[in-house]
Structure formats: C-alpha cells, structure tokens
C-alpha cells in the first residue's frame, strides 16, 4: 500500500521501512503534540481564546517577547554581518579560533548562558559595576533580555551569511572599481544587495529562535509582570497554576504570530532573491 | 602629475588598512564581550570558593542524579533521533513521492517552536487532565512529570538536527552508487552498510554531535514537562536553575561548568570535523 | 591615448608571472595579447587596469606615469571574461552604474544619464533591453552590455579579458565584428586577451605573442604569420 505513494517505482529497497519509521516518529514526536495544542484551541473556541488573551499582562508579555526579539535580531544583523565579513575576508591572528567560537551559543545550554550573563551584568557583577557609573542597568531590565537574545541569535546570522560571502565573485567588486566606484559605494550598491537574501534568512532564523527563547532570558529578565515578563514565562506560570486553557491560549498566540512573521519574511526573501536573479 | 613611487597600493577587493583594522578590532571586542565573557564567568563563579568546594558540589546527591538523568536521556534520545534522520533521509532522497517539500517543512518545524510551547504541547497531550494522559496514568504509565515526557521533549527540540544534515548530503550524492550495488546483487541492508553509510558517516556524526549538545542542554521544554522533581526528573540544566534559585551559587555554576566543558568539547569536535571533512558536510556548504 | 609599458615585472610570492616586459602601444590601436594559459597575458592586462600591482617597472598613459594610479583614477574600461554584470540591476542600471557612482559634483543629471545609456544601447544594437535583468539575456547580449557599461564612463582605453571566451563559435564571429566596429567608431586604444590565435590574427592590428611571462614577438598579424620569431610562435600560430 505504501508503494502506492511513489510517483515512479524505484529499484532501491527500503521505502516502506524508512517511510514507516519516519512517519511513526514524526507523528509521535511532532504531529500529535502540535495537534493537541491546536485541538485544545478549537475546543476552547476563538471567542473564549480572545477573551483569555485580552489582558494587559498577556499583551505586555507578547509585545515584549516579539519586540525584544526584533531588536536583538536587528543588532545581530549588523554585527553578525560584520563578524562574518571579518572572518571571511581578513587574515589575522586567532581567526580560526574566533570562527569556532561563534558557535558557542549553539553548544552552550541556555540555562548556563542565562546564569552567566546574569552574574556578569548583575549590579555586583563585573559588567554591572562597570556600567553603573553611566546609569546603565542591564540585569533585571529589558536591556538584559536584549543581551541574552543577542547571545542566542548571533550564530544564526553569521553562519548563514558566511558561505555567501565566501562565494562572492571578486569580478563584481573589481568591475565596480574599474567603473570608478569608491569602495564604500561598491559595498553598498554591489555587495550588500547580493548578501540581502542570506541576511534575511539569518535574521529570520535568529528571530524565530529569540521569540520563543526561555532559558537564557528568565534569569536576567527580572520577570516583573507587565514589564520584563516574557510570553514563554507566562505559559510556565499558567501551567504551574494548572490553568491549561490559558497556557494553551498564549501558546497558540505565539505560534500564530511566529508563523505570520515567518510568512512575511519568506515573502520578502522570495522577492529579493528574484531581484538578484536567483529564482 | 606628481611623481608616484611604488608604495604598496591596496587591492581593490578589500578595505583600506585603517578600516580593516577597525573592523577586526570591533569584531574582537564584540566576541570578547558577548561570547567569551559569559563563558569565563561560568568557570570563575564555579571556582569562587576554590576547587574543593566546586568538586564537593558535584558530589551532592541531587547533582549526581541530575547528571545521570541527562546522560540517560541523551543516550536514548540521540540514537532515536539518528534512526529517524537516517530513515527520513533515505525515504526522501532515494524515492520520488509527492509533497516532499511539505514533509521537510514539518521536520524543520520544531526549530521555530518555542521550547516552552513544545513542553506545553506535551502537557496538553499527556497531562493528567487529558483523556490519553488520564488513561496512561490510570494504567501506571505516566508521561508528564516522568522520564518519557523528558524524552519526548528532548526528541522534539532536537528533532531536525540529523535529518537536515543528512538530506542535502544524500541529495548531492544521488542514487547511482546504490543502484550500481543493486545491479551487483547486494541486498538492501548490505547496500546501506557498505555504500550509503560510508558516504554519509561524517555528516551523520556531525548531526549526532549537534543533536547531543542540544539534548544535554535543553532547558525550557524539559523544565515544563519534568516537573523538576529533585533526584527523580531533574536534569543537569534544570538542576542548575534550582541550585541557582536557592542561592547555591557554587553548586549551580559548577554544574554549569560541566555543561560548558561539554559544549567546548562539542565545539572542538565540530571544528575538527569541519576542517577535515568539510566537503562531506552539508553545514559547511549551505547557501 | 598611447600606452607605454616599461620593464614591467610581477611576482606572486616566489613565482614570476611576468618577467620584465616592455611594450609600446600606439594610440588608437587594437591590440591582442595572445598566449596559452599561464603566459602572463591576463596579469599584464590586469596591471594595465590597475587591478594588479607590478613588482617593478612602470606604466605610462599618454606619456604620464600611471603606475601608482588607483583603479578608479585610471578610467580604463574593463570587460571581464565572465562579464561580471550586476545581477540585481537592470541592464539600464548596469550601464548607468559608473556615472551614478561619481561624486555628486561630477555626476551628470539623471536625464543626461538616461540619454547616454540609450546612446550606448543603440551602439551595441540592443536598443530595447534596458529594463531587463542580466539573467534574461543571451550570452552574446551580456557581453555587449558589459562592453556598453565599460564605455559609459568615457574610458581612456578599453581592456578586455577573453571577451569571446564564454560564447559559442557562431556568436563569437558576429561579436568580433561588433568589437571591431565599436573600436573604429570610438577610436579608443583597445587591448584584449585571447588564447585563440585565429581570433587575434583576424581582429587585431597588433598581436603580442606571450609565453611563460615573456613577450615572444610583437607584430602585425601578417608579419607574425610570415616570419615567426621563435619556435613557440610558429607552433602556437600554426593552425
């Protein structure tokens, strides 16, 4: 019966087995749980969902989660691009070491990053003390959330842009110079547009990751309702109160907003790819 | 025109030396502040009261139980994930069937779902107040606040790692070698072990490495489903949080330091793979 | 403008890409640098264009030392083998690029840029493709757009690296004629690199045969055919 799925018969064996294992694990691990959340949403019904979401605390948390993720991802867009450029184009002592270190946020557990950042930026921490004279408090403020999300999102931008910079054709930069363009003009008009699709992909990945980030944020955020309380934390709180419907409502809201955002970014990406003749 | 001597001019494909130096400087400072400083802090805080205190913290029964739990979870979740990745890659790259793109999107989906929402999904599916969960608990097979829940949460967040590393590599390698083996009379399993596996082993190892790092380090999803019961369902990352919230700073940071060393080991192995086998990995060639 | 190459040498690390070579190029000439790969012809062209810097020696443009001039200051129209068209810009934007890149004071007004681009599109006999993107063009069209783009900056000379290398035989013949016509109409000193002796002999006024970083012979095509100076020249031009 499985073979009926195939568009064209293949002489290779193992379709039934591999397709079976894949669908079984995919269903148990991913599809069933997502179905449970969406099913819960359907059972509650859109009107009640809206009622549950329509509170100042939830709107503040959702707004904070998305705006902080946006700010951190924009920051990473700039610094990630710079870091990728430096790592690909310049030769300096320690380059390979830095290159390997960029993946640290992928490898370091988020809770570890969270307590380390908090220790650094707390009023009695090294950075906290250094910033205090300037009236800057990072830990237990929204700025602290930005710092944690910058840490989490950085490798996404660097690692998506890096290979594209490596494959840039030098001809384009050279021809631009022979046409009289200064270096800055070449960077702005020739190189940046070529990197735009990759930058958008990196940005989208960093954004998706930071919106839902929990472990690295809760330690440094202070978690004051309406001010520094992120949406995932609110889900955890509702779950601890056994208020499953309210938790599900926030979870669904996060899913919907995330997908809407990714759709928009996807659309921009397709448009910009078409512009540089990739699609 | 002034007399121009040969002072080494700057090639047109790079920036002026001053700007280059400036960019390198800013990049180094950025990496030092945002990446290295937190890492160093973990070890500094762990050793704040000396080696003895740090090592003592690791001997706490709760810490030992958490380490055991994390190792057990990884030991089960990673092989399942690898099996899924291989099966998915085999089905997707060796056969033609409709809606492959949709399937790949589904496999990637867990990356764009918040770990906390992932945990929430499992609680809604298997929690005491759901039909399925109630039945499982009545039959003495609890999933939430128990080992299976932690395992499922870990599987969810690590889900795409192996598959998305293998699929591009296997697409690139095509089917010709397997088909050649088939004409020589090899059986399916024989083809897999003697032709396919040797071709994908480094990519597989790479995916397993990343999967393992995430499996041992996952916090949000596990925190939600495990109930964080000390000595029973607490993993290393959740134990770090509990120690930290109880102001047991040395214990928290020592356990964190163990996780950090694991992360460094992962990075080291990952870099080695990237330098030695870059041509056989998808990650180093992605666009 | 005449070009004077004096004792020009180029080393990449320990390998010598160019032994000291000297070559006068008269104003308005159409010159072919002919040789196999690795003969140093492309290196010489890139040094003329300011993309590569000589280890020693001088280049004079119109009697003035241009060795230390930056690429931007040279105003040499350069056509790359791959054409290096900007994929994210239309043909119009590609050709206008050099004019728009000028500092504000020297930049012509948009209307003037528009007129100039249209004149160049007419010159390359593709008057209607301004709104297209490079990936919508054929290989031959791309080559001509690259040529128009190089001409837009009112260059002092035209440098072309294997300008017909990426084209099939039929298109190649047509475009050879096109380059000849454009050269004759603009009167620009033109240097092109090729490994195809037939192309060099048919198109150029002056052929410079190169091998292993040295100039083997300089002469009119007929002279080189009739009296090859070395065995290498005889072998390479016999076809």
| Rounded Cα gap, residues A235 and A76, in angstroms | 27
What is the reported pLDDT for C130? Answer: 94
What is the reported pLDDT for B4? Answer: 41
Domain residues for C69? 1-75+156-239
Q: What is the DSSP letter of B281?
A: -
The answer to whether residues A62 and A10 belong to one domain is no
Mean pLDDT, residues C93-119 taken together? 94
What is the reported pLDDT for A214? Answer: 95
The answer to whether the Cβ–Cβ distance between A37 and B191 falls below 8 Å is no
The answer to whether the Cβ–Cβ distance between A174 and C135 falls below 8 Å is no
The answer to whether the Cβ–Cβ distance between C54 and B6 falls below 8 Å is yes
Please report all neighbours of A, defined by 3+ CB atom pairs within 8 A: B, C
Mean pLDDT, residues B4-13 taken together? 58
The answer to whether residues A69 and A155 belong to one domain is yes
Comparing alpha-carbon positions, the chain B residue that sits nearest to C68 is B4
Residue C82 lies in a domain: no
The answer to whether residues C149 and C160 belong to one domain is no
Chain C residues whose beta carbon lies within 8 Å of the beta carbon of residue B14: none
Strand pairing partners for B176?
none
Q: Does C50 have pLDDT greater than 70?
A: yes
Comparing alpha-carbon positions, the chain A residue that sits nearest to C146 is A175
User: What tokens were used for C101?
Assistant: 């890149």
> What is the band of A2 on the pLDDT scale with cuts at 50, 70, 90?
very low
The answer to whether residues A58 and A4 belong to one domain is no
The percentage of residues in chain B with a pLDDT greater than 70, rounded to a whole number, is: 95
Residue C81 lies in a domain: no
What is the reported pLDDT for B146? Answer: 92
Q: How many CB pairs under 8 A join B and C?
A: 24
Chain-wide mean pLDDT for chain B? Answer: 90
Q: Phi, psi (5° rounding) for residue C158? A: -120, 125
Chain-wide mean pLDDT for chain A? Answer: 91
Among 2.40.160.60, 3.40.50.970, 2.30.42.10, 1.10.3720.10, name the CATH number for the domain at B51-285. 1.10.3720.10
More reliable by pLDDT, B276 or A274: B276
> pLDDT tens digit string along A142-178?
999 999 999 999 999 999 999 999 999 889 999 999 9
The answer to whether residues A108 and A122 belong to one domain is yes
Residue C179 lies in a domain: yes
Final residue before a domain boundary, out of C154, C173, C204: C154
Residue C139 lies in a domain: yes
The answer to whether residues C131 and C186 belong to one domain is no
The answer to whether the Cβ–Cβ distance between B116 and A112 falls below 8 Å is no
Strand pairing partners for C11?
C16
> What is the band of A272 on the pLDDT scale with cuts at 50, 70, 90?
confident
What is the reported pLDDT for B1? Answer: 36
C153 touches chain A (CB under 8 A): yes
The percentage of residues in chain A with a pLDDT greater than 90, rounded to a whole number, is: 80
The answer to whether residues A11 and A97 belong to one domain is no
List, as ranges, residues 15-54 from C with C-beta within 8 Å of B. Answer: 50-51, 53-54
What's the domain count of chain A?
Answer: 2
Q: How far is CA C199 from the centre of its chain?
A: 14
The answer to whether residues A145 and A57 belong to one domain is yes
> What is the band of B231 on the pLDDT scale with cuts at 50, 70, 90?
confident
> What is the band of A1 on the pLDDT scale with cuts at 50, 70, 90?
very low
Q: Does B109 have pLDDT greater than 80?
A: yes
> pLDDT tens digit string along A176-194?
999 999 999 999 999 999 9
Write down the residue that tokens 């740090």 correspond to. B54
Q: Which of A27-31, B16-20, B68-72, C129-133 has the lowest mean pLDDT?
A: B16-20
Mean pLDDT, residues A224-231 taken together? 93
Q: Which of A7-16, B108-117, C116-125 has the lowest mean pLDDT?
A: A7-16
Dihedral, CA of residue B89, residue B94, residue B99 and residue B103, to nearest 10? -10
DSSP B25-65: HHHHHHHIIIIIHHHHHHHHHHTTTHHHHHHHHHTSHHHHH
What's the domain count of chain C?
Answer: 2
The answer to whether residues A40 and A52 belong to one domain is no
Domain CATH code at residue A126: 1.10.3720.10
The answer to whether the Cβ–Cβ distance between A189 and C97 falls below 8 Å is yes
Sort strands C3-12 and C56-61 into parallel, antiparallel or unpaired. Answer: antiparallel
Chain B residues whose beta carbon lies within 8 Å of the beta carbon of residue A41: none
Domain residues for A130? 46-275
The answer to whether residues A96 and A229 belong to one domain is yes
First to last CA, chain B: 47
> What is the band of B281 on the pLDDT scale with cuts at 50, 70, 90?
confident
The answer to whether residues A251 and A116 belong to one domain is yes
The answer to whether residues C144 and C161 belong to one domain is no
| Rounded Cα gap, residues A177 and A170, in angstroms | 11
> What is the band of B154 on the pLDDT scale with cuts at 50, 70, 90?
very high
The answer to whether residues C97 and C212 belong to one domain is no
Chain A residues whose beta carbon lies within 8 Å of the beta carbon of residue C86: 172, 190
Mean pLDDT, residues B165-175 taken together? 90
Write down the residue that tokens 């004149």 correspond to. C119
The answer to whether residues C106 and C162 belong to one domain is no
| Rounded Cα gap, residues B149 and B55, in angstroms | 31
Sort strands C64-65 and C56-61 into parallel, antiparallel or unpaired. Answer: antiparallel
| Rounded Cα gap, residues C9 and C158, in angstroms | 22
| Cα–Cα nearest to B153, from B112, B107, B121, B105 | B121
> pLDDT tens digit string along C146-175?
999 999 999 999 999 999 987 888 888 889
Final residue before a domain boundary, out of C118, C136, C154: C154
Q: Does C63 have pLDDT greater than 60?
A: yes
Q: Is B157 helix (H, G, I), strand (E, B) or coil?
A: helix
Q: Phi, psi (5° rounding) for residue C69? A: -70, 140
What is the reported pLDDT for B286? Answer: 46
The answer to whether residues C47 and C3 belong to one domain is yes
Mean pLDDT, residues B25-41 taken together? 95
Q: Does B5 have pLDDT greater than 50?
A: no
The answer to whether the Cβ–Cβ distance between C68 and B1 falls below 8 Å is no
> pLDDT tens digit string along A95-124?
999 999 999 999 999 999 999 999 999 999
| Cα–Cα nearest to A117, from A107, A106, A103, A105 | A105
The answer to whether residues A67 and A143 belong to one domain is yes
Mean pLDDT, residues A239-248 taken together? 93
What is the reported pLDDT for A4? Answer: 66
The answer to whether the Cβ–Cβ distance between C88 and A194 falls below 8 Å is yes
The answer to whether the Cβ–Cβ distance between B9 and C56 falls below 8 Å is no
b (16+ CB within 10 A) / e for C173-210 = eebbebbeebbeebebbbbbbbbbbebbbebbebbbbb
The answer to whether residues A129 and A217 belong to one domain is yes
Final residue before a domain boundary, out of C154, C169, C192: C154
- Rounded to a whole number of angstroms, the distance from the CA of C84 to the nearest CA of chain A is 5
User: Which range has the top average pLDDT, A263-267, B102-106, C166-170?
Assistant: B102-106
The answer to whether residues A17 and A125 belong to one domain is no
Helix intervals (H) in chain A: 15-26, 32-44, 46-53, 56-89, 95-101, 104-107, 110-121, 126-131, 142-166, 170-178, 183-186, 192-211, 215-221, 231-240, 244-275
Residue C239 lies in a domain: yes
The answer to whether residues C67 and C173 belong to one domain is yes
| Rounded Cα gap, residues A54 and A47, in angstroms | 11
| Rounded Cα gap, residues B191 and B206, in angstroms | 22
Q: Does C49 have pLDDT greater than 90?
A: yes
> What is the band of B241 on the pLDDT scale with cuts at 50, 70, 90?
very high
The answer to whether residues C185 and C70 belong to one domain is yes
- Which uninterrupted H or E stretch holds C159? strand C157-161
């Amino acid at each position: 019966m499985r073979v009926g799925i195939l568009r064209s018969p293949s002489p290779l064996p193992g379709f039934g087995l591999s397709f079976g294992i894949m669908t079984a694990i995919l269903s148990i691990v991913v599809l069933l749980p997502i179905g449970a959340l969406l099913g819960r949403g359907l059972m509650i019904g859109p009107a009640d969902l809206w009622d549950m979401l329509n509170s100042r605390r939830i709107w503040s948390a959702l707004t904070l989660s998305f705006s902080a993720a946006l700010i951190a991802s924009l920051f990473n867009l700039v610094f990630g691009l710079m870091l990728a450029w430096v790592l690909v184009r310049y030769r300096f002592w320690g380059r390979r070491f830095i290159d390997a270190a960029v993946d640290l946020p992928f490898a370091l557990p988020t809770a570890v990053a969270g307590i380390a950042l908090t220790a650094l930026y707390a009023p009695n921490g090294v950075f906290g003390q250094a910033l205090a004279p300037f009236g800057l408090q990072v830990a237990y403020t929204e700025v602290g959330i930005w710092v944690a999300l910058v840490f989490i999102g950085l490798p996404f931008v660097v690692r998506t842009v890096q290979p594209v910079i490596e494959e840039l054709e030098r001809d384009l930069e050279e021809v631009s110079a022979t046409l009289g363009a200064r270096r800055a003009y070449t960077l702005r008009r020739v190189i940046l547009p070529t990197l735009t699709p990759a930058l958008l992909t990196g940005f989208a990945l960093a954004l998706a990751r930071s919106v839902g980030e929990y472990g690295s944020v809760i330690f440094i955020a202070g978690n004051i309702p309406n001010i520094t309380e992120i949406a995932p934390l609110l889900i955890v709180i509702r779950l601890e109160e056994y208020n499953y419907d309210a938790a599900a409502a926030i979870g669904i809201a996060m899913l919907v907003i995330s997908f809407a955002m990714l759709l928009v970014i996807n659309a921009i990406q397709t448009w910009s790819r078409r512009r540089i003749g990739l699609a | 025109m002034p007399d121009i001597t040969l002072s080494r001019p700057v090639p047109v494909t790079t920036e002026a030396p001053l700007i280059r130096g400036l960019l390198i400087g800013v990049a180094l400072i950025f990496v030092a502040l945002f990446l290295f400083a937190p890492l160093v802090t973990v070890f500094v805080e762990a050793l704040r009261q000396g080696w003895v205190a740090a090592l003592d913290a690791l001997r706490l029964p709760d810490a030992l139980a958490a380490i055991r739990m994390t190792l057990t979870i990884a030991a089960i979740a990673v092989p399942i994930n690898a099996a899924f990745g291989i099966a998915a890659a085999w089905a997707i790259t060796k056969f033609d069937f409709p809606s492959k793109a949709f399937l790949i999107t589904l496999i990637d989906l867990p990356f764009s779902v918040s770990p906390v929402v992932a945990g929430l999904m499992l609680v809604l599916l298997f929690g005491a107040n759901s039909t399925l969960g109630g039945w499982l608990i009545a039959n003495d097979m609890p999933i939430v606040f128990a080992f299976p829940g932690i395992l499922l949460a870990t599987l969810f967040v690590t889900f795409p790692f192996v598959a998305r590393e293998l699929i591009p590599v296997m697409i690139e390698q095509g089917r010709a070698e397997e088909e050649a083996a088939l004409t020589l009379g090899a059986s399916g399993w024989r083809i897999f072990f003697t032709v396919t596996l040797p071709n994908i082993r480094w990519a597989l190892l790479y995916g397993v490495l990343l999967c393992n790092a995430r499996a041992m380090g996952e916090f949000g999803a596990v925190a939600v489903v495990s109930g964080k019961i000390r000595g029973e369902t607490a993993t290393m990352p959740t134990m770090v949080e509990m120690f930290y919230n109880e102001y047991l700073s040395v214990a928290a940071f020592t356990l964190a330091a163990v996780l950090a060393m694991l992360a460094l080991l992962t990075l080291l192995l990952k870099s080695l793979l990237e330098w030695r086998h870059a041509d056989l990995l998808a990650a180093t060639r992605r666009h | 403008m005449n070009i004077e190459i004096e004792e020009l040498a180029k080393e990449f690390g320990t390998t010598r890409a160019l032994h000291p070579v000297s070559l006068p190029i008269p104003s308005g000439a159409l010159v072919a640098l002919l040789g196999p790969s690795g003969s140093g012809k492309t290196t010489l062209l890139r040094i003329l264009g300011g993309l590569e810097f000589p280890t020693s020696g001088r280049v004079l443009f119109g009697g003035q030392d241009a060795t230390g001039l930056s690429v931007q200051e040279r105003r040499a129209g350069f056509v790359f083998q791959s054409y290096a068209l900007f994929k994210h810009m239309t043909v119009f934007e590609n050709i206008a690029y050099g004019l728009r890149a000028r500092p504000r004071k020297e930049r012509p007004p948009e209307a003037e840029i528009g007129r100039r681009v249209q004149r160049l599109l007419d010159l390359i006999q593709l008057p209607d493709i301004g709104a297209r993107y490079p990936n919508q063009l054929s290989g031959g069209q791309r080559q001509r757009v690259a040529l128009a783009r190089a001409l837009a900056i009112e260059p002092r000379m035209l440098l072309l690296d294997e300008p017909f290398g990426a084209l099939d035989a039929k298109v190649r013949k047509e475009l050879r004629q096109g380059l000849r016509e454009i050269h004759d109409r603009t009167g620009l000193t033109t240097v092109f690199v090729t490994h195809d002796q037939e192309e060099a002999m048919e198109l150029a006024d002056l052929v410079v045969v190169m091998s292993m970083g040295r100039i083997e012979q300089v002469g009119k095509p007929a002279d080189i055919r009739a009296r090859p100076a070395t065995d290498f020249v005889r072998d390479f031009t016999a076809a």
